Amino acid sequence: MPEENGILAENKTNNPHDKGYKRVLKNRGVLLHMLRKYTDFAWVRDVREEDIEFVDKEFVTDYFHTYESDLICRIRRGEQEIYLFLLMELQSGMDFTMPFRLLVYMVNLWEQYFRNVPEEERERKEFRLPMVVPMVLYNGKESWTALRRFRDYLRDGEAFGEYGVNFEYALIDVRRLAKDLILSSNTVIDNIFYLDRAKEKEDFLRAVEEMMDRVAELSAEEKNLLETWFAHVLEGKFGEKEQAFIRECFQKGEKKMISGFEQIVIEERENAKREGLEQGIERGIEQGIEQGIERGIKQGIERGIERGISSERDHGIQVLVESCREFGQTEDSAVRKLMEKYLLSTEQAETYVKRYWTAD
Task: Render pLDDT for 57-101 as a digit per residue (tens, 0 to 9).
Answer: 555 455 555 555 688 999 998 888 999 999 988 866 788 999 999
Q: Which residue has the higher pLDDT, 90 or 345?
A: 345
> Residues 201, 43: contact at Cβ < 8 Å?
no
> Could you give the 3-state DSSP secondary structure of residue 29?
helix
Give the C-alpha separation, 194 to 211, whole Å. 8
pLDDT band at residue 297, thresholds of 50, 70 and 90? low
pLDDT band at residue 152, thresholds of 50, 70 and 90? very high
Give the C-alpha separation, 28 to 76, whole Å. 13
Give phi and psi for 249, each to the nearest 5.
-60, -40
pLDDT band at residue 1, thresholds of 50, 70 and 90? very low
What would the mean pLDDT of 36-51 be, rounded to a whole number? 95
Is the pLDDT reported for residue 301 higher than 70?
A: no
Give the C-alpha separation, 326 to 79, whole Å. 58
Q: Which residue has the higher pLDDT, 245 or 169?
A: 169
Please tell me the pTM assigned to this model.
0.68
Give tens-digit pLDDT for 100-113. Answer: 999 999 998 999 89
**DSSP class per residue in 82-117:** EEEEEEEE-SS---TTHHHHHHHHHHHHHHHHHHHS
Count other Cβ atoms within 10 Å, centred on residue 188: 25
Q: Which residue has the higher pLDDT, 232 or 97?
A: 97
> Could you give the 3-state DSSP secondary structure of residue 188?
helix
> Residues 217, 186: contact at Cβ < 8 Å?
yes
Give phi and psi for 288, each to the nearest 5.
-65, -40
Count other Cβ atoms within 10 Å, centred on residue 309: 11
Q: What is the pLDDT of residue 358?
A: 78
Q: Which of 137-151, 220-234, 292-306, 330-344 has the lowest mean pLDDT?
A: 292-306
Count other Cβ atoms within 10 Å, centred on residue 280: 13
Is the pLDDT reported for residue 317 higher than 60?
A: yes
Domains in the chain: boundaries: 1-176, 184-256, 271-356
Give the C-alpha separation, 192 to 229, whole Å. 8
pLDDT band at residue 44, thresholds of 50, 70 and 90? very high
Amino acid at position 115, single letter: R
